[in-house]
Amino acid sequence: MIELVPIDENNFEAVIKLDLHEHQRKFVAPNVRSLAECYLYRKNEDVFPYAVQDGETVVGFLLLDLDFEEKEMMIWRMMVDKQYQGKGYGRQTVQAVIERFKNDPDHTVLIADYVKGNEAMGSLLRDLGFKDDSFNDEFNEYVLHFHK
C-alpha cells in the first residue's frame, strides 16, 4: 500500500532520480522542474509535492494544486518510476487522491489531465470514475473531472 509523503530532505533526492521510459518523457515534466515550480509558487500556498512511497521506497511523484477560490483540487503532475510501473502504484496513487478529495470539505471537484497520446493515464482516470470534460489545445491535454 502506498503513502503520499510530503517532499522533504529525506526523500527529495529519490524523487529527483525517478525516471520514465524514453517514450513517456514527453507526457510529464521532469520532477526537478516540478519542485522548482513549487518553489516559484510557494507564496500562493496552493501547490503540494509528494513522494509516492511503498514503505521506505520512493516509487513515484505527485503534485497537487489546491484552488480554494474555485474549490478545485487538481492532480497537476503524477508519475511512477519506470522500474515500478505495472505494479498498481499509479492506480493506488489516484485512489489515494480520490479518498483525500472525498474527505476534503473545501473542494467540490477533482481535476486531472493527461497529454494526448498517454492513453494509459486516460484509461486509468476513466476507470476510476473521472469523466471527460474538454481538450486543451494550448497544452495538447485532455481534461477530466471527478465530482463527489
Domain residue ranges of the chain, discontinuous segments joined by +: 3-147
Three cell numbers written together for 134: 474538454
SS3 content of the chain, % helix, strand, coil (to 5): 35, 35, 30
Mean pLDDT taken over the chain: 97
Paired strand residues for 114: 142
pLDDT classification of 121: cutoffs 50, 70, 90: very high
Determine the pLDDT at residue 115: 96
Determine the pLDDT at residue 147: 95
pTM of the predicted structure, to 2 decimals:
0.95
What's the rounded mean pLDDT across residues 56-64?
98
What's the rounded mean pLDDT across residues 40-64?
97
Determine the pLDDT at residue 19: 98
Q: Assign domain 3-147 one CATH number from 3.40.50.300, 3.40.630.30, 2.40.50.140, 3.40.50.1260.
A: 3.40.630.30
Determine the pLDDT at residue 58: 99
CB 77 within 8 A of CB 90: no
Determine the pLDDT at residue 123: 97
